[in-house]
Every structure is written in structure tokens, then in C-alpha cells.
Structure 1
Amino acid sequence: MNSRLQEIRERQKLRRELLAQQLGAESADSIGAVLNSKDEQKEIEETRETCRASFDASAPGAKRKCQGEGEDPEEDVEDQKDEVEQQQAEDSGPYEVVYKDSSTFLKGTQSLNPHNDYCQHFVDTGHRPQNFIRDVGLADRFEEYPKLRELIRLKDELIAATNTPPMYLQADPESFDLRELKCKFDVILLEPPLEEYYRESGIIANEKFWTWDDIMKLEIEEISALRSFVFLWCGSGEGLDLGRMCLRKWGFRRCEDICWIKTNKNNPGKTKTLDPKAVFQRTKEHCLMGIKGTVRRSTDGDFIHANMDIDLIITDEPEIGNIEKPVEIFHIIEHFCLGRRRLHLFGRDSTIRPGWLTVGPTLTNSNFNAEAYSSHFNPPNSHLSGCTEEIERLRPKSPPPKTKADWGGARPGAGAGPRPGAGTGAANATGPVSAATGAGSGAGGAHTGGSPLAREKVPEKTCSC
């Protein structure tokens, strides 16, 4: 408890220091001197109005000149009249407050303007609006949700215990036949070096970049299992449409879009975007998720655990020229899909990890053996990681699908004709069938068997989420 309290205090101290830096305060303790309360703001406005009114009252008398100085009285009166009219015209206009920076608009400043203009703050300081999103890391995301935090911990332990040893193969997917892997994969992650990455940064590529025509030629459909998922990083431009075409060609249906929001806390400033077609600065990338086969959240709990993570990744943008993707994408995939056969195409030495087969042209070594890799999934081992009772109890679940009886619809033959002990309801019966009497409850049908009031209420199916 003491360590938890100490951690909260340290985070509060860091936030106050950041706010003091943004507001121009000398230290975190002097923020109160910079910020004004509502009463103080009201007092300031009243003082301004008083000064303005006193100035208006004293302006004509202050500008009078002594007539004993040899000046023409009529000319003097005309000058005074012109000055008074000019002053009145200036005072009659609306009072405009000039803002020199965006500190007035930031959250927590109790300013006269209630808006949090983080876009203006980006223009002033270079800090992107997403820099101010709190608790974005894996360790802090579920800090206030103990149930989900415990679930993630249990899932990580199970994944670590069921992962296969890391395997990697130095091969160029353009010339390598993927069928030589001799395996059908549950999850395939593609991270192609797109031309878009190098075009925006203006740096010459140290490896061959791939066009979307080259990516579409990959025979992903030959190495994907009957029910499987593919995750394709497609940038933030034309890849959103061309990536969908790739999924369709491989036999997948797009079902999700994971968005990587890039922050610049460590390097605030404006991104040097060199793409001639860009109007705005791009600070995000997309990872398209495709599904193959029939997989339902409510019935296929042995293969997927839905709603374990969010579809956003918020991390700091890497340096210019670095096209590596955040490691959090691996956690999202492992938490979601229970399949243990995972393939990472276009991987690098830095992305080799347990539970994955990494294939890429820039790898410096290889240890892949098709027979040894397949042996990890032979009986009694399974290609699924399995689940524990505690994980099943904690994980979010979808309600099971309701049958027609649950919705009040008639089953085939219910109330359609005479049966032993059954009523002779109309063929378009819409009510439930009584389990106690077998009587149809069709509207308008004559009842001949059992009590018409004897109906058993169908209990609703529930599940613990």
C-alpha cells in the first residue's frame, strides 16, 4: 500500500512539473501564483471595467487646454471634439483579449475559455495532442481496473508457459516459397518495408522496399489455417485501400483496424514530412486485421479471447528512418488468439521472440527446422495454448446466441397441427410452446388440449462477464 501511494505521489509530482513548464512557472510549487481562481478572474474584470469607466469620464477634461496660451479657442474646441469622438469610437467596440500562447486553454488552468485547445498548443510548442493521453503504457493501462490487470497477468503467464522456442529463418519472401515452411499458421503478421516509409522521411532505404503489387503476390493463402488471422501493417496512405485488396486476394475478410498513434514527448517539434501529396502531418499508422473461416466470439472461446485489449497503440515515434513497429502489437495478438502457430514475415533480429517463427531478408542467422517446428504441435501437444478456469472466469464474454424459443418464436411444427395433447393453433404461431402441456399458443387457434394458461416461461440464458 505504501509503495502504491508513493508511486501515485511521484506521478503527481511529474505532472505538476510538466504543467509548471507549460505555464512558465518557476517551479511546481508556484503554479498557484500563475493560475487565477474564478473569484480572482472576476475581480480582474471588475478592475478593468472600473479603470475603463474612470478613463472615459476623465478623458474630455484631461485633454482641455488653457485658453490663456495664445491659441485660437475655436480651433482648440474642434481638436478636443475630434479626440473625444475618436476615444468614444474606440471604447464602443468590443473588448478583445489577446492571447500570446496556449497556456490559457490547457486543462486545469481554470481560464475564462473552457476549451482545451491542444491543437493550438501543438502550433505553439510542437507537442502533439496525443502526448497528453494518460496511462497508455502496458503497465499503467489497467491500473484502475484490478480485474483486467489480473487477467492480463494470468494470460501472460500462460502464454510464456506454452510458447514455442524462438525460431528464425533468413530468407527473402520475394524468392522464397512459403510452402517450404510446411505448416499452416493460426496467426500471420506482415511488416513489409513500404516505399511510403522512406518517401516521407526522405532517407535512402538500406533495403529493398516493397510495392503493393509485390505484397499481393505473396501466397499467404497457402500457409494459413482454415480458421486464422492476418495482421498487415499498411502505413497511413494508399495502403488502407490496397491492403484490403491484399486481404481479399488471400481469402481473408477485414474485421478490425488497429491504429498506432505516434507521440513525440521525447522529441517535440514538427515532423518533417516530405510527401508532396500530404496536406497534414501524418502521426499515425494502420494495421489491418483479417479473418479467415468462421470464428465467433460467443462460441469459439477455445480459439479467441475477445475484448482483451483496445484497438489503439500509443507510443513515441521512433527516430527518422526507423521503420520498426511497436512491440505492443505482439501482445495484442497473443492475448487475442490462442493459436500457437505464429508467423512474422519481414521480421528483423530485434523482433525475434518466443512463440514466433520470424522470416525476413535482413536476419543475420537462421535456426529453423521444419520437422522440429512441427513437432511442437504434434499430440499430445496442441496448436492451442488452452485456458485456465480463472482466466475463463475473468475474461470478457459475449452472451450466447439466443434461439427462436428464447425470442418467443415458434419451433418447426409448433401449433401447426394436432398432436397428442396439443392444441390446434394457427400455423403462424408466434408464442412459446408449453413444456407442461405441449399446447401451441398460436394467436387465433382453437385450443383443445390442456389448460390455455399452462405455459412454462423459458428462462433467459445469462453468462458471467
Structure 2
Amino acid sequence: MSKNVEHSRQSAPSESSVAALSNRYTYNKFGSRKRLSDRLTVAPSGETLKDEVGSSSETRSPSENRKKVAFKEERPSVFVKDLDYNNHYIHTGQSPVSQIRNIKNPIEGYPKLNKLHTLKKAQVVKHSTKPYGVRIRSDRIIPTINSWIEQYSLKFDVIMIGALIENQFILPLLQSIPIHKLCSKPGFLFIWATTQKISELTVLLNNENFNKKFRRSEELIFLPVDKTSPYYPADKGDGSLLQKQQWHCWMCITGTVRRSTDNHLIHCNVDTDLQIESPNDTRKNAVPDSMYRVAENFSNSNRRLHIVPSKTGYDMPIRLREGWVIMGPDVILNNFHPAAYIKDLSTSSLLQYKTYANGLNSVSNAQYLVPQTDEIEDLRPKSPTIAGKKLQSQL
């Protein structure tokens, strides 16, 4: 009798081992979490070992009980529910994008970057022109641009083409734009397309009108929060299990621009390449404000043109923006004139001219820039400098 009692005491786990198990969790295949102490009830020798989560119970020998406890102690579950957003989407239909915590303020917790954004925004607004709109039919966009070039030698430093509307990618019209004459050198091109239109965008950028003048530099991504968003691309019904909800904005550069020497033209690393729809943007707009800000923060040039090739409809209006000339069929305000625009630029921008070998300046090659302060330059993230080159530059 005493031997049986002593054997049962040895087979039963100690209180410390049970307490250690009580602080661990186990997960089922659906991601539900339960304490291991609730799931596993360790019984003394000869009694039933019950699994409260399971539907069946078995009578095991003391040696099998020890093996089960040892197995749970040595191999705890490594599945973490909070990171399994794919499983969460399958069961709830809620997009993983909505689980990102800092959508409202992506730079929350970064005081230095937050101050930089505040200073940049104030500087851009201070030196912006008034909002200009060009209300025009789609078939009149190309002739109007040609008249600007021929009569006023008008150029723009930042050109954005397209909006977050399915019917904006009009390949014949885009191929006809005299982009090499309209864009200054150096200059920057932002062009929109959905995931379904990437192949057409590649064809466009490889044709003669773009390929010899522009090189693709960056690809920006915009993500709507969920299917209720006005920016969510229409479902094409291609039968794919994966939903293509991204918008792509390819940035192309013409001319030579270097990060280390051309900080009067560009400011890199101020924004990320991924932008997510913010709940703070309550006003509907064909292009989110965040994508306008990316272009403004990156390029310090003040001549900005946005071409919206076709109608957007009443549900997605084209709102004018300070510092931009926006042209399209659904632009409400039609107040643009090249001569008045050039005069406005001259008063709001810092003018720099390209000097030729004979010492003369050309008005047509003037650079209209947003001046930057020393505080902005100190806060701005900069690319790392190689020690040898840095020492050589100081000498």
C-alpha cells in the first residue's frame, strides 16, 4: 500500500510545474487562445486525464501522463494570434490594412520628423501660387498644351497625370502629350495606374515619347482601407483569389539630379513610398492630399501641373490646390492664363537662372523654387556619406 502511494506521488507533477504551465497559452486551428492550465487538467495516478478543449477523454498510465506534461513544457505553441492577419481576413473579411495603428498619424512618436513635416508644409504654403483650374474637354487637352508651349514657352517642373479613377488611364491621349517639351529639365513626372493597368503603363513608359527623356526612379503605392473606400479599385471579376487593391504611382525623372548636391531641387526621405488612406481625409477628392504632399515634399520646384484626362463624376470631384494648375473636364474653376500664372510664380518663388558659357541667362530656363530654411536642412534625413568622400569634400 505504501509503495502504491509513493508511486502515485512521484507520478503527479509538482505545484511549481503546474504553476509554470498556467502562464502559457495554447491555440487551436482557428486562432482562439486559451491558458494551458485551463486546457490541461493533470490528474493523479490511475484517474482520467481530461482535455477541456477537446471532446474526448482518455485514461492514461502515469508514464503517459508524464510524457504529455513534458511535451507541453518542451514545445510550447509559437503561433501568435495577433500577427495572423491572413487568418483574420479569411474568417471576418476585414482587410489587414485596417489593423495598422498609426494610419491617422504615421509620424506619431517621431517628434523630429513631425516638426520637419510641419515646417515643410508651412514653407510650401507660404510660397505657393493661388489655385488654378483649367476646365477643358479631353479632346482639347493636347491642343491647349501645345499652345502654352508655342506662345508662352511654358514649362512645369512637377507633372502629375491621372487620378484614383478607373477610367483615367487613356493610353492614346497619354501617348500624344508632348511631355518632353512640357516638362523642364530636370523635372519630375508622377503617373497613376491600378495593378491591372501596370502592363499598359509599362508600354507607355517604354515608347519613344517617354523612354528617351524619362527614367523610372521610384514606385509609390497607395492603399485604400477597405472596400467601402471611394478609392477602392473596381472588381474586374478575373476569378483571382487575391484582390488587387493597390494604386501605383510611378515617379520618373528627366535630367540629372543628385541627392548629395541638388538639395535645392529635391528633399529625399521625407515621406515613405507607401501611403495609406487616412480617416482624417473626410473630403472626397480624385487624388488624396497625402499624394500631393509627397510630390511637394520631394521636389522644391514650384511649377506643378496635374492632368486629369477624363471625367471623374460628382462622387469624386477634382478639388483645386494651392500651388497647382489642375486641368480636366470636371474642374469647377476655370481661371488659368499663362501670362498671369508666370507673374504669380515670379512673386512667390525663389528664381534661379541657368548661366551659359557667354555669361547670359535665359528666362525660359529659369527655376522657380520654394526656398528652404536652415532648420529644415538640419531636420531633413540625409543619405549616409562615405568617410573618404566626406573628408575630401572638406579639404
Band of TM-score, shorter chain: 0.5 to 0.7
CA contact (8 A) 1:266 1:316 kept: no
* C-alpha displacement of 1:461: 5.6
Where do 1:370-389 residues align within 5 Å? 370-378=338-346, 381-382=350-351, 383-389=368-374
The residue number in structure 2 matching 1:44 is 38
The CA deviation string for residues 114-173 of structure 1, in whole angstroms up to 9 with x for no partner, is 252111111111111111112123xx2222111111111111111110000111111134
Q: Which whole-Å CA distance do the structure 1 matches of 2:269 and 2:343 have between them?
A: 31
CA contact (8 A) 1:192 1:233 kept: yes
Are residues 1:185 and 2:171 paired? no
Residues 168 and 53 from structure 1, CA distance in 2 versus in 1: closer, same or farther, beyond 3 angstroms? farther
Are residues 1:391 and 2:356 paired? no
Residues 363 and 43 from structure 1, CA distance in 2 versus in 1: closer, same or farther, beyond 3 angstroms? same
Residues 211 and 193 from structure 1, CA distance in 2 versus in 1: closer, same or farther, beyond 3 angstroms? farther
* C-alpha displacement of 1:263: 1.3
CA contact (8 A) 2:192 2:250 kept: yes
Are residues 1:244 and 2:202 paired? yes
Name the Cα RMSD after superposition. Answer: 3.5
Residues 191 and 156 from structure 1, CA distance in 2 versus in 1: closer, same or farther, beyond 3 angstroms? same
Where do 1:23-422 residues align within 5 Å? 37-38=23-24, 41-47=35-41, 50=43, 54-55=47-48, 113-114=79-80, 116-137=83-104, 140-176=105-141, 177=143, 178-181=145-148, 182=152, 183-191=154-162, 197=166, 210-237=169-196, 239-248=197-206, 249-250=209-210, 251-264=213-226, 273-276=235-238, 278-315=240-277, 324-346=286-308, 350-378=318-346, 381-382=350-351, 383-399=368-384, 406=388
Q: Which contiguous aligned blocks of 4+ residues in structure 1 show a shift greater than 6 angstroms?
A: none
Gaps of 5+ in 1: 1-35, 58-85, 93-109, 199-208, 408-457
Gaps of 5+ in 2: 1-21, 26-33, 51-57, 65-75, 352-367
Residues 460 and 42 from structure 1, CA distance in 2 versus in 1: closer, same or farther, beyond 3 angstroms? farther
The residue number in structure 2 matching 1:427 is none
More strand by share: 2
Residues 274 and 329 from structure 1, CA distance in 2 versus in 1: closer, same or farther, beyond 3 angstroms? same
Q: In structure 2, what residue type is equivalent to 1:324?
A: A
Q: Which whole-Å CA distance do the structure 1 matches of 2:100 and 2:278 have between them?
A: 12
Question: Identity percentage over the alignment?
Answer: 27
* C-alpha displacement of 1:278: 3.9
Q: For residue 187 of structure 2, give the secondary structure of its aligned residue in structure 1.
A: strand
Q: For residue 363 of structure 1, give the secondary structure of its aligned residue in structure 2.
A: coil
Q: Which whole-Å CA distance do the structure 1 matches of 2:112 and 2:285 have between them?
A: 35
The CA deviation string for residues 220-260 of structure 1, in whole angstroms up to 9 with x for no partner, is 222100110010011112x2233234334322111001001
The CA deviation string for residues 439-463 of structure 1, in whole angstroms up to 9 with x for no partner, is xxxxxxxxxxxxxxxxxxx94668x
* Larger Rg over CA atoms: 1
Moved more, 179-188 or 297-306: 179-188
Q: Which whole-Å CA distance do the structure 2 matches of 1:45 and 1:56 have between them?
A: 11
The CA deviation string for residues 259-302 of structure 1, in whole angstroms up to 9 with x for no partner, is 012212978xx998233364421221111111110001111000
Q: Which whole-Å CA distance do the structure 1 matches of 2:239 and 2:49 have between them?
A: 55
Q: For residue 119 of structure 2, give the secondary structure of its aligned residue in structure 1.
A: helix
TM-score scaled by structure 1? 0.58
The residue number in structure 2 matching 1:17 is none
The residue number in structure 1 matching 2:8 is none
Moved more, 375-384 or 140-149: 375-384
TM-score scaled by structure 2? 0.67
